[in-house]
Amino acid sequence: MAKNDKVIKEITSMEEDFAKWYTDVCIKAELIDYSSVKGCMIIRPYGYAVWENIQKIMDSLFKEKGHENVYMPLFIPESLLQKEKDHVEGFAPEVAWVTMGGEEKLEERLCVRPTSETLFCDHFKNIVHSYRDLPKLYNQWCSVVRWEKTTRPFLRSREFLWQEGHTIHETEEEARKETEQQLNVYAHFAKEYLAMPVIKGIKTEKERFAGAEATYTIEALMHDGKALQSGTSHYFGDGFSRAFGVQYTDKENKLRYPYQTSWGSTTRLIGAIIMTHGDNNGLCLPPAVAPVQVVVVPIASHKEGVIEKANEITKVIGKVARVKCDTSDQTPGWKFAEYEMKGVPLRVEIGPRDIENGQVVVVRRDNGEKTLVKMDDLANEIPKLLTAVRDGMYEKALARRNAMTYDAKTFEEMKDIADNKPGFIRAMWCGDRECEDKLKEELGVTSRCIPLENEEHLSDKCVCCGKEAKHMLYWGKAY
């Protein structure tokens, strides 16, 4: 079977049906499988290896900032959840409840954690007594359950993996600094490791996390022009501390309520990678998180010395990158298509003529560019080429986002863009909830964020009501 025939047969083109293309890639690249548990997915080894690399890098970034990993229980007593009214109301529609233990009915229902603020607060109450106990900088890697009605692999499932940071501080200034710091960590990770451009911003009151005083976000734009919230950081003030009776004695021996934050990102990031960088041949993985960064494909492997030389250069490359040598009996064309589908950043081709010339052919996944590299230079050139792939992926995604970002100064302009041009819409807003609701109801767009950096005002009037504008917002249709 020719390479293009394989691609056409196995992956729906994104131009034809983007949702089907996405699902095809998830299945054919062996990232996930469907489970007999409705709304839940099986993350296969290749998909989980991507998550492990995300986790490893993020974990090191968190620890550089002084955070420690902890683990909280999976279950939350209903009475504990009810202590923070706004928080429980925000999550009530998505909560899964345990009512039986074995064959006995439980005296109190247990919530399967949708998030762990209440558990952390209950714990902080027991361990924070003095200013000397502060700050506590904690992070948790775990799964959570939210009973979603409509599910899609990685983007929205009833159980998903994530990290949730929870910190508690002596002062408001410290807590706010932590909130913004962690937003910057997410933005840095997205750009440098996922090659994914994001908008850093603050959510409107309507879109704010339940129980938070402020929610910060990074927003990415997918191939189809829809926005994807890719990480959030929340400032809680002292509201949770007051609700849960968390107090400490300050340096003047006075009782105070500490200030808290939380921040999180999920396996949704894998969906973001697929929809930001993928193409009609399948995945295109950023080198930092690719399970296999380089695949070595022997050409004419039946000829003497080819397999041996392929194994030899694999050992050399293995010192500087995650590498696989495919010596299976599949044809080279099949292997090319297979590893393109799986998004491997670099392919190294080696055959009899290459051995004779002391060189190999290196092919980039992001743009198909071929480079001849001397075998003696592989240890130096492979890292440079992986960096070039990452840079190329970022620039391509940034150019696409810029081309799909539009400005609207009137309601009519915004409606025309929302109806005909997928992407971000930058428009002014008066700050009133009524206008935010109207834009969602009539145009199908939601407020993504008020940007934090380098954004000029487009006009002095709200795009919806024409009154004096307070903020420039990014709006868009979203996952």
Domains and CATH numbers, the chain: 3-277 (3.30.930.10), 292-388 (3.40.50.800), 405-476 (3.30.110.30)
CA distance 346 to 172: 47
- According to DSSP, residue 472 is labeled E
| Contact partners, residue 258, CB within 8 Å, separation at least 6 | 124, 128, 134, 168, 169, 170, 238, 241, 246, 247, 248
Model confidence, pTM: 0.95
Q: At what angle do helices 3-10 and 332-341 cross, to 10 degrees?
A: 40
CA distance 109 to 106: 6
pLDDT at 87: 72
CA angle 162, 167, 168 (to 5 degrees): 155
CA distance 128 to 124: 5
CA distance 436 to 441: 9
- 331 SS3 class: coil
CA distance 12 to 287: 25
pLDDT at 90: 73
pLDDT at 57: 98
- Per DSSP bridges, beta strands 199-202 and 446-451 are antiparallel
| Contact partners, residue 152, CB within 8 Å, separation at least 6 | 19, 22, 23, 271, 479
Residue-wise pLDDT tens for the chain (479 aa)?
344 444 445 799 999 999 999 999 999 999 999 999 999 999 999 999 999 999 999 999 999 999 999 999 999 999 998 887 777 677 778 899 999 999 999 999 999 999 999 999 999 999 999 999 999 999 999 999 999 888 999 999 999 999 999 999 999 999 999 999 999 999 999 999 999 999 999 999 999 998 999 999 999 999 999 999 999 999 999 999 999 999 999 999 999 999 999 999 999 999 999 999 999 999 999 999 999 999 999 998 889 999 999 999 999 999 999 999 999 999 999 999 999 999 999 999 999 999 999 999 999 999 999 999 999 999 999 999 999 999 999 999 999 999 999 999 999 999 999 999 999 999 999 999 999 999 999 999 999 999 998 778 899 999 999 999 999 999 999 99
pLDDT at 370: 98
Task: Please choose, from the candidates 203, 227, 235, the residue with its C-alpha nearest in 3D space to the C-alpha of residue 217.
Answer: 203
CA distance 303 to 449: 59
Q: Are 215 and 233 in contact (CB under 8 A)?
A: yes
- 19 SS3 class: helix
| Contact partners, residue 94, CB within 8 Å, separation at least 6 | 114, 146, 147, 148
pLDDT at 3: 44
